[in-house]
Amino acid sequence: MSGTTAIRAAALVTMTALAAACQSTEEPAAEPTAAPSATAVPSATAPPAATATPSPVTAANTAAVCAAVDKLIIAKSKEIAADSAAATRRQLTPEQINDQVKADLADLADDVRGQAARAEDPEIKALVGDAARRIEAGANSSAPVKWLGSSFVEIPQRLTRECRA
């Protein structure tokens, strides 16, 4: 893959992931959550999922953790896209681009792991922790730009579906 192709692929993938993270399959909530975000996050007053019903304290923490993870993924996706555009201007090699993407993914994995540690609901802790592990796998991948297109895009979609109070 040439440097320009890798850059374009990284930008396309991150923007796709960003768009996927912003789309919700849920109907809009009647009221905003206690921690509003730029993306659709079901409110703490939404009906509970078919799984175990979290306590009100956990539900509030879950909404905050899910919103924080969503914001982290969106911000890092934007950063990767901006870095990809800058890499074109600087004419970075594919190896340099891969190193840059690896560093961005490692930072994101650390940030998401921090949110998993905050989660009070064990299911949300496990879900967010799994997302961090998957992102870390991308950071450790020999082809992180390719990983973005094949695996990263699934992470925000899964979180949008499952990370809610």
What is the rounded end-to-end Cα distance, in angstroms, of the chain? 42
pLDDT of residue 164 exceeding 60, the answer is: yes
pTM of the model: 0.68
How many whole angstroms from its chain centre is CA 50? 24
As a whole number of angstroms, the distance between CA 92 and CA 90 comes to: 6
pLDDT in tens, 56-114: 555 668 999 999 999 999 999 999 999 888 887 888 888 898 999 999 999 999 999 99
94 in Cβ contact with 10 (< 8 Å): no
Return d(Cα 124, Cα 160) in angstroms, integer. 12
Residue pair 72/108 in contact by the 8 Å Cβ criterion: yes
The neighbour count for residue 28, using CB atoms within 10 Å, is 9
Write the pLDDT tens digit of every residue in 3-39: 545 555 555 555 545 444 444 434 333 333 333 333 3
Task: Tell me what pLDDT residue 38 has.
Answer: 38
CA distances (Å), origin 49, targets 21, 46, 95, 122, 163: 19, 9, 44, 14, 10
- Give me the mean pLDDT over the 145-162 stretch: 93
Distance, CA of 12 to CA of 63 (rounded, Å):
29
pLDDT at 48 (0 to 100):
43
User: 42 pLDDT band (50/70/90 cuts)?
Assistant: very low
- Which is higher by pLDDT, 33 or 122? 122
Give dist(CA 72, CA 74) in Å, integer. 6
CA separation for the pair 144, 128 (Å, rounded): 20
